[in-house]
Amino acid sequence: MESTEFKEFRKKLNKTQAQMAQLLGVSLKAVHSYEQGWRRVPPAVERQMYFLAVKQNTKKGKLKACWQIKKCSPEQKIQCPAWEFGAGELCWFINGTICDGTPQKNWKEKIKICKSCEVFGPLIK
């Protein structure tokens, strides 16, 4: 997550830097540093930012599961942790999902795929 994206998400959440620091469990100085680009946003903080943005943008009703949207085969579902844990609306949050046919090795690879996915992409807009 780039510094401009971090700042944009904070503003979408309608939070001050101090409020964001408290929500994320980091110091105010860390939030300043993320927004100025002095420090890289750690994966755990990035995931939390996306989680808050998704929760803010989703209606209270149940979302459609990723395997329904992507029309996964029974074989794909059995191999996928999102299906195993019944978390089809949080597939982007769970490591090891097989969204593009193979599990991603790390968060950086995974979120790159997720940002262009029809399941996750609309939730963070």
- For range 28-49, the mean pLDDT: 95
- For the stretch 71-112, pLDDT in tens is 888 988 888 898 999 888 888 888 888 777 777 778 888 888
Higher pLDDT, 17 or 101: 17
Distances (CA, A) of 46 to 62, 73, 107: 24, 30, 10
3-class DSSP assignment, residue 88: coil
In the predicted structure, residue 115 carries a pLDDT above the cut 70: yes
Q: Would you kindly state where each structural domain of the chain is located, as residue ranges?
A: 3-57, 66-124
Question: For residue 123, what pLDDT is reported?
Answer: 74
Report yes or no: 18 and 28 within 8 Å, Cβ to Cβ.
yes
Annotation: CATH topology of 3-57: 434 Repressor (Amino-terminal Domain) (1.10.260)
The pLDDT score that the predictor gives to residue 22 is 96
Q: Is the dihedral of CA 91, 111, 26, 5 positive or negative?
A: negative
Q: Which residue has the higher pLDDT, 17 or 67?
A: 17
Ramachandran angles phi, psi of 40, nearest 5°: -75, 140
pLDDT digits (tens, 9 = 90+) for 40-70: 999 999 999 988 888 877 765 567 888 888 8
Mean pLDDT for the stretch of residues 3-29: 94
pLDDT-derived band at 18 (thresholds 50, 70, 90) equals: very high
pTM of structure: 0.78
